Structure 1
Amino acid sequence: MAKACFSRWQVLVGLLLACVGAVQAAEPAPPAASGLTEARWLRAPRLYGRITANELGLVINTADPYSVTIGEYYAKRRGIPAEQILRVQLPMRASLTPEEFAVLDQTLRSHMPENVNGLALAWVQPYAVGCNSLTSALGLGLQPDLCANTCAATRTSPYTSYFGARPWLVIGLRPTMQLAARSVPAAMAMIERGIAADHRLADVVPEAAVAYLAATPDAARNVRERLFPPAGPVPGAPGFEVVRVKSDALPPMRRTLIYQTGLARVPAPLGGEWLPGALADHLTSFGGQLDRPVGEGQMNILDWIDAGATASYGTVSEPCNHLQKFPHPQRLLQAYAQGVSALEAYWHSVAWPAQGVFVGEPLAAPFAPVPMP
């Protein structure tokens, strides 16, 4: 039986944290690239705690050899408690039916202990439920009405205005990420990058790390440029800086921790030197269709994993270019720099995640404080 180990006081504190401050999740920042408003940093909410292996649930598809191998490897490398591992049988295809999803969702809810506040799915397919992504359907709830008009506004995620590390207990939401890569060796390498990232940038004199934010001539996909912060140091994160670049004039990329752009296909090679724990994504319509072959149509976000990133995000159905459906550059940088995991930073940055699939090693946390001995 699941055991809730949180006091009434902790629940009340969590509820207060969910209500304090204004993240402006559904509202984009003032246009910084238009010349009318100078780029500036938004006020960052203070985040508390971090989801670790002791609060992460792991789901393995026993019908998928990749899933079994990677799930067992991840459980061992990250030390996921046995009672937080669920083995299921799922079809190996891109999308689940609503009925198949309902069975999976209910199985998870009945199996996972109450202390599980995030989920890792150890497979590549399935990644969708109709026009919804599977990670968001499990985390936020299925939104079947969206399929009538995938360009419409979707439900705002309450996670964007929750600042603690107990979202399941407080707001009934478990942020979810897929341990997805194109092969078992690629997935193992991604996991090792996530592990190597932990606490790496938390030293008093940390390694240099760079967030490259690329403007592009693709007007429809360049809408996030208005959200870019000013170039220079990231507030409160020594050694971490923002470099604003043009996609047609990329400098040699070094010490890359964040890379965001807006193109249907990013020219290879995808960046240069990647730090462990690097996050990278591009704003386009179908980057989250994880079964899309290499080089066919729009770029698959698994290309970022192949290149050396540790996590990414993309949409599984046509979202149009709503800013709220993609990672907010400042929210992503600010959350990650506060020491939370890749899973939490990405979920904090997307206001309308219904169509977006989160992939990568969820527990990577380069800015997390070094544990006390």
Structure 2
Amino acid sequence: MVAPAAGLKPAQLALVINDDEPNSVEVGEYYRQARNVPAENVVHVRLPDHPRKLDAAQFRQLKEHIDARLGPHIQAVLMVWTAPYAVECNGITAAYTLGLDSSLCGAPCGPGKPNPYFNAAGPQPYTEHGLRLAMLLPTDSVDGAKALIDRGVAAGFSMPAASAYYLTTSETARNSRAPFFPRAGTLPARKLTIKRLSADVLENEKDIMIYQTGMARVARLDTLGFLPGALADSLTSFGGDLLGSSQMSSLRWLEAGATASYGTVSEPCNYWQKFPQPTVLLSHYLRGASAIEAYWRSVAWPAQGVFIGEPLAAPYRR
């Protein structure tokens, strides 16, 4: 496979700001300035009352409003809010990029719609595949969102010595992607050490660039040190239910210091295809893809998932 070209640029990213949410307005403008996103790439919407979920009609209206304001050069969209994060049983980022797949709502453990961008090499998803990649930038905490943005920006300035951690846990059903964990070893050119562990907990490590595991709740995040640009996620059913409490929300990864994450909003069962495939995610990130490109390329059936974080983080782009 050829390495991706330069990758997503700020001028190719649209920001969608919810004018009914002051945090979205403040964080969106902070992001626009931090990443030098052109002002004409900003789309304003009105979503009152922070609904966690939209129905099909509400989403169709939102998507049509956004799409009507985007030029053909826009390859990706960043929604600047925490909620809504679901559309029926789909993640809002997947529904936007791939189209709403309502068939899953009656059979959530069935196969998802294939992602044409899975493991793709091209740098322009909209031009090449008709897909605008979507990610959510959570805004519950303005200070937390600004810190997240700062980490994403900082990721572009240095390539630190780092480790990628892959945990096979005691929660057997959540280990379905463990066969795809990369081989342990060191990649000197990227100053990255790959570590595979049989453990439920990672603690006191301060050099994390990747952390992938399978647990309903991940303990000891407060002891960890995530490097700028770090990606982290868990294979569990409801990580994408960002404001839910039945399992650990993917927001906890960002609060702990990761720069991007992923989770599912409805019961996906444990298909590895519905979660980030570890080898694909790592290989694209190490080639210089941004967080949004690497994450979107790594999920074969992403309909039930939501991608969150700072999309342009790219610690290995040189």
TM range (shorter): over 0.9
Work out whether 1:162 is the aligned partner of 2:120: yes
Structure 2 residue corresponding to 1:320, chosen from 259, 269, 277? 269
- Unaligned runs of at least 5 residues, structure 1: 1-43, 202-206
TM-score normalised by the chain length of structure 2: 0.96
TM-score normalised by the chain length of structure 1: 0.82
Contact 1:181-1:305 at 8 Å conserved across structures: no
Counterpart in the other structure of 1:50: 7
Contact 1:135-1:178 at 8 Å conserved across structures: yes
1:281-300 equivalent positions in 2, closer than 5 A: 281-292=233-244, 296-300=245-249
Contact 2:203-2:220 at 8 Å conserved across structures: no
Change (3 A) 1:111 1:267: same
Change (3 A) 1:284 1:249: closer
Work out whether 1:220 is the aligned partner of 2:184: no
Query: Matched residues in 2 for 1:352 and 1:225: separation?
Result: 17
Contact 2:165-2:211 at 8 Å conserved across structures: yes
Q: Cα RMSD (Å) of the superposition?
A: 1.5
Identity %: 46
Query: Matched residues in 2 for 1:251 and 1:299: separation?
Result: 17
Counterpart in the other structure of 2:27: 70
Query: Matched residues in 1 for 2:200 and 2:19: separation?
Result: 45
Counterpart in the other structure of 2:183: 230
Query: Matched residues in 2 for 1:278 and 1:157: separation?
Result: 24
SS at match of 2:117: helix
Counterpart in the other structure of 1:8: none
Q: Deviations over 1:312-357 (max 9, x none)?
A: 0000000000000000010111000000100001001000000000
1:170-319 equivalent positions in 2, closer than 5 A: 170-201=128-159, 207-234=160-187, 237-248=189-200, 250=202, 252-270=204-222, 272-292=224-244, 296-319=245-268
SS at match of 1:72: helix
> How many residues were matched structurally?
317
**Highest Rg: 1 or 2?**
1
Change (3 A) 1:281 1:45: farther
Query: Matched residues in 2 for 1:279 and 1:229: separation?
Result: 15
Counterpart in the other structure of 1:143: 101
Deviation at 1:64, TM superposition (A): 1.1
Query: Matched residues in 2 for 1:56 and 1:89: separation?
Result: 20
Runs of 4+ in 1 over 4 A off after TM superposition: none
Contact 1:237-1:337 at 8 Å conserved across structures: no
Contact 2:51-2:84 at 8 Å conserved across structures: yes
Query: Matched residues in 2 for 1:88 and 1:238: separation?
Result: 41
